[in-house]
Amino acid sequence: MSEWQPTLAQHYHERTKYDPDTIAKKARSLDWENQPLPYKDYQIGTTYDLKPYLDKTPTDEPHWEKWHRLSQFLLLSYGVTAKLQTMSGEGIYLRAAPSAGGLYPAEVYLIVRGLSFLPEGLYNYQSRSHSLIHFWEDSVWSDLQVACFWHSTLENTEIAIAVSSVFYRSAWRYEDRAYRRIFLDTGHLLGNFELAGSLSDYRPHLIGGFHDDRMNELLYLNPEKEGVITVAALADLLEVNQNLSPAKTSLPSPANHTFPENIPDGQLLGYLHEKTKIDSEPQISSKQLQTSDKEDKYNFPFCLKVSTETDPIDWGEGLEGLPQTMLKRRSTRGYNGQEITFDELKQLLHFTYQPQDYWQQGLDSQPDFFEPNLISTFVAASGVTDLEEGCYYYAPNSQELRQIRFKNFRRELHYLCLGQDLGRDAGAVIFHTADLKQAIALYGDRAYRYLHMDAGHLGQRLNLATIYLQLGVSGIAGFFDNQVNEVLGIPEDEAVLYITTLGRPRR
C-alpha cells in the first residue's frame, strides 16, 4: 500500500492554524474603509413583504397559512432579531443564526418550482426587511435537478434553499482562515433550518454534493467572489407526497495530493474552494453508502465513566419555548466563573446528540447532517458540580463521559482560546474534532466543508439548548490548534473544528 500523501485540505488546515509564536507577527489592522456590507441589495425584481404574515391570527387573504409558515421559517432561520447602534450610526443587524465577527457571509436563496401562492423562479431572502426579492421569473427547476445530479428529494418538492457565501465578508477580517468560519456559520444556519422546519411543518433535505459551477450559474453568482455552499430541498410535510425518506446528503470531490505549496497568503481560501468543487457526478463506493452508527472511542478500562442519560428537555406545549429561544439567542460576552450543574450539562449533551428522543415533542428524530459519524466530541470540565475536573470524551452511543485527562484546565483553556476570558471562566468547554485523513479518504477534500458544517450544526443545537436553560454560551473558531491537541491529549491527526464555551453569564 502506498504511503499517504497530504492533500490540499490538510495543507490548508496546517497553513491556517494559529500559532502562539507567529500570531502576533501576522496580526494586521482592519481596513475599515473597505468593510463589506453583510447583505445584498437587488435593484430589480418584485418584492414580497413577509412581515404581515408573522401575526398568528389568520386573515381571509388567500393562502395566508402558507405565507405564515414560510415567513416564520425564514425569520427563525436567518431573520433579523435585534439592531445594535454603532458610533458610525449604521447599526449592526443581529440575526437568528450566529456569525463570526457579526460578518454574516451567507446569503439565502429560494428556488421555486411553482406554488399556488409563490410564482416559479429565483428569490433572495432580504433579512433586514424580512422580504423576498423575486429577481428571476422563469422556471429553473430542471436546471436545479441537473446541477444536483437528479437528487431524489427534488422530484416531489416545490421549494429548494440554496445557501451561498460572499467570501470577502469573512475574509476581510479572518483572511484565509475565514473558510473555516464560513462553513461553521453555514452549519449554524442549517441547525436553524432543521428546527424552524419542525415549527413550520417543513423538512429540509440537505444536498451537499452538487455541480458547483452550475449552481453558481443558476443563481447568477460571481464565482470569483461568492459561491453556493449547500442546497436543501424543502419538503412540505402537509403534502402527503412530500413526506420523504432521508436521502444521501454527501458526495465526494477529488482528493488533491498534488498542489503548489507556495500558494500566496490571501489566495489559499479561493484555491481550496475551487479544488473542492464537483464538476460531474462521482461514483459512490459501498463504504460511502454505509450509514453505520458512530463508533464510541476511548473505552479504556481504567478511565472514569459517567452516565449522561437524562430526560429530554421539555420545550413546552407545542414547542412554545423553541421559537422564543431562537429569536432571543445571543452569544455570551462573559461568564461569572460560577459552576454549572452536571444535570444542566447532561441536558445540553442530550438535546445536541440524541435527537431521536425528541420526536414526541414534534422535532425531527433524524435530522440531516453530512457525515456526523466523523465528528468527535470532548468536554473539558472546570466548574461542573458533581463532575470531577478534567477532560472527557463524550460517547454518544453509550451516553456517557469517559475521562481521559485528570486536572483543572482553566489556565490552559484561557491560553488556548487566544487569551479570551470565556475559556477561563466557563464551567465547561466543548470541543468538536475530526480525523481529517479518515474524512478525506471518504469524501476527498470536500470533506473539509462537510466537517465544519456538521460542527456548526451541532454547535447551534448547543447554543439554543443552553439559552433555553438560562445559561451562557459562546462559540469560538479562533484557537491555538496544536496546543488544543496537546492539552486534550488527543492525536495530532485529530483536527480541531470548533469550540463552544458554556457557563453562567455575567449580569
Q: Which one is predicted more confidently, 163 or 302?
A: 163
The answer on pLDDT for 291 being more than 70 is no
Residue 504, pLDDT score: 98
Mean pLDDT, range 286-299, rounded to an integer = 66
Q: What percent of the chain has pLDDT over 70?
A: 97
Mean pLDDT, range 400-429, rounded to an integer = 94
How far is residue 49 from each of residues 52, 70, 132, 351, measured CA to CA in Å? Answer: 7, 12, 7, 34
Residue 23, pLDDT score: 85
Residue 293, pLDDT score: 58
Residue 1, pLDDT score: 47
Round the average pLDDT of the chain to a whole number and report it.
Answer: 94
Distance CA 287, CA 282 (A): 14
* Predicted confidence band of residue 294 (pLDDT cuts 50, 70, 90): low
Residue 125, pLDDT score: 98
- Three cell numbers written together for 411: 489556565
- Three cell numbers written together for 264: 500566496
Could you tell me if 452 and 183 are in contact, meaning their C-beta atoms sit under 8 angstroms apart?
yes
The answer on pLDDT for 212 being more than 60 is yes
Mean pLDDT, range 338-342, rounded to an integer = 97
Residue 288, pLDDT score: 57
Beta-carbon contacts of residue 463 (< 8 Å; ≥ 6 apart): 98, 188, 191, 329, 331, 473, 475, 500
The answer on pLDDT for 155 being more than 50 is yes
Mean pLDDT, range 156-166, rounded to an integer = 98
**Positive or negative: CA dihedral 61, 65, 70, 71:** positive
Q: Model-level pTM?
A: 0.96
Residue 80, pLDDT score: 96
Mean pLDDT, range 64-76, rounded to an integer = 97
Helices of type H across 201-242: 212-218
Strands (E), 39-105: 46-49, 80-84, 92-95
Residue 184, pLDDT score: 98
Of 85-94, 217-226, 231-240, minimum mean pLDDT range: 85-94
Cell 500566496 belongs to 264
The answer on pLDDT for 88 being more than 80 is no
Q: Which one is predicted more confidently, 22 or 435?
A: 435
pLDDT digits (tens, 9 = 90+) for 495-507: 999 999 999 999 8
Mean pLDDT, range 10-34, rounded to an integer = 89
Structural domains of the chain, ranges and CATH numbers in brackets: 63-246 (3.40.109.10), 287-503 (3.40.109.10)
* Predicted confidence band of residue 89 (pLDDT cuts 50, 70, 90): low
- Three cell numbers written together for 314: 421539555
φ/ψ region of 345 (left if φ > 0, alpha if ψ in -120 to 50, else beta) reads alpha
Smallest CA-to-CA distance from 196 within 80, 316, 69 is with 69
Residue 2, pLDDT score: 61
The answer on pLDDT for 456 being more than 90 is yes
